[in-house]
């Protein structure tokens, strides 16, 4: 019985927190403030990530990023070969869609597709030097996107790991559950 007391306290603390968040949510819903708060938060994120003016080009994506895409897709190259245009779509999904909410949408506004299908500038040139570029580097290298690529046996395995580690804001995360000794646990 005494083992249940800490669990009960934790449950009550959790319920109290949910109640407080629920009341704040109801007030925000009644006043319409939740939409204003969300727009302000998004504007702040975009302001910190996206520069007002185009930045000078610097090598940003490591060569290994492209090597791993080719390996995972079982394509020959990329040495000396022109990259297929689908690489741009993969880069949007792997990097820009996952680095922060709505960053890709803002980049597409500032750097629209040209009539030939490409873009006038590289998306990364719109990132701020103080937050955008460091976060991009962290996402690509330090935060393990290339490590996930290295560890994956194939493209599907990489995409599952990527979604688990860096979910996009518009996709559901698939969780794997297994039963161990009669209890359901996350794998």
How does the average pLDDT of the chain come out, rounded?
79
For residue 59, the model assigns a pLDDT of: 86
Q: Which has the higher per-residue pLDDT, 131 or 31?
A: 131
For residue 7, the model assigns a pLDDT of: 72
Q: What is the mean pLDDT of residues 160-170?
A: 86
- Name the residue ranges covered by the structural domains of the chain: 50-165
* pTM greater than the 0.85 cutoff: no
For residue 118, the model assigns a pLDDT of: 85
For residue 57, the model assigns a pLDDT of: 87
Distance CA 9, CA 15 (A): 10
Distance CA 52, CA 106 (A): 11
Give the contacts of 25 (CB within 8 A, at least 6 positions apart): 34
Residue 29 has pLDDT above 80, yes or no: no
Distance CA 72, CA 16 (A): 47
Contact call for residues 122 and 57 (beta carbons, < 8 A): yes
Q: What is the mean pLDDT of residues 161-173?
A: 77
The percent of residues in the chain predicted with pLDDT above 70, rounded, is 69
Alpha carbon 57 to its chain centroid, in Å, reads 23
Question: How long, in residues, is the chain?
Answer: 187
Q: What is the DSSP string of 65-112?
A: HHHHHHHHTT---STTSPPPTHHHHHHIIIIIHHHSTTHHHHHHHHSP
């Amino acid at each position: 019985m005494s083992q249940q007391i800490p669990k009960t306290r934790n449950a009550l603390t959790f319920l109290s927190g949910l109640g407080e968040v629920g009341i704040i949510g109801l007030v925000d819903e009644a006043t319409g403030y939740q939409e204003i708060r969300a727009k302000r938060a998004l504007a702040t994120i975009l302001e910190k990530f996206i520069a007002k003016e185009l930045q000078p080009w610097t090598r940003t994506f490591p060569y290994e990023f492209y090597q791993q895409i080719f390996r995972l897709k079982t394509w020959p190259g990329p040495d000396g070969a022109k990259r297929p245009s689908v690489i741009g779509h993969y880069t949007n999904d792997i990097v820009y869609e996952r680095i922060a909410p709505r960053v890709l949408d803002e980049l597409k506004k500032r750097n629209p597709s040209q009539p030939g299908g490409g873009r006038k500038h590289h998306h990364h040139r719109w990132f701020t030097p103080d937050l955008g570029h460091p976060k991009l580097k962290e996402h690509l290298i330090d935060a393990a996107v290339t490590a996930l690529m290295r560890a994956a046996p194939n493209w599907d395995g990489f995409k599952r790991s990527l979604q688990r580690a860096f979910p996009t804001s518009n996709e559901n995360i698939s969780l794997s559950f297994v039963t161990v000794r009669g209890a359901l646990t996350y794998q």
